Chain A
Amino acid sequence: MNNRVRELRSERNWSQADLAERLDVSRQTVNAIETGKYDPSLPLAFKVAKLFELTIESIFLPEE
């Protein structure tokens, strides 16, 4: 699954550590999500969407 997490984080000038702290996860988890190595669970995806004030489907995009 592709996602816009890195782009949205950069727009807000947050580091991976900043985002990790806001989501209450490790920086490693943020990095794995951004690089597409790990697809978050639905609750974490909702948390990301809520933090960025967007819908889940506008952040996480199924691969074509």
Chain B
Amino acid sequence: MRAVHKRYLREFLPAMTAYVVLILGSVWLLPQLQNTPLRVLATLVPVIPIVFVLRAMFRVIRDQDELERRIDLESIVAASAVVGLGSFTYGLLLSANVLPQPRAETVAVWVLPALFACFGIAKCLVRLYYRGR
């Protein structure tokens, strides 16, 4: 594994671990809190490690070699297109009342995970393309 990817794992894994711990803590704590500022704090604290996850991603994209960067950027474009078009289509169907109405927070919370999942799938496909003959 190249140094740039080792650094990525060193940055990504602790941030992701912190996120899991904080989100579990937040879910456990929220029902016990009545005070609004405390509820806001408990809800938003898990977002902090996600910022570090994104920072790790930006740094690895910037510092890896040119083909790796191209693969990541093409994958991000594909993932953004799929999630953007998918959510737009879903929104149109919801506004036409042909689908059961979900809770707004459920839709909003799933945007980022959907983006990450689509990025992962797109990256596998783009890598296959560049693997060559």
Contacts and interface: CB of A to CB of B under 8 A. Distances in A.
Interface of A: 24-26, 28-29, 31-32, 34-38, 40-41, 44
5 contacts: A26-B2, A29-B66, A31-B131, A38-B70, A40-B66
A32 B131 contact: yes
Contacts of B133: 35
Given A28-B68, A32-B132, A37-B131, 17 more contacts: A24-B65, A25-B66, A26-B64, A26-B67, A28-B67, A28-B127, A28-B131, A29-B67, A29-B68, A32-B67, A32-B130, A32-B131, A36-B132, A37-B132, A38-B67, A38-B130, A40-B66
* Majority-rule SS of A interface residues: loop
Interface residues on B, range: 10 to 19
B129 interface: yes
Nearest to B5: A26
Contacts of B64: 26
A31 B68 contact: no
Interface string B8-48: 00000000000000000000000000000000000000000
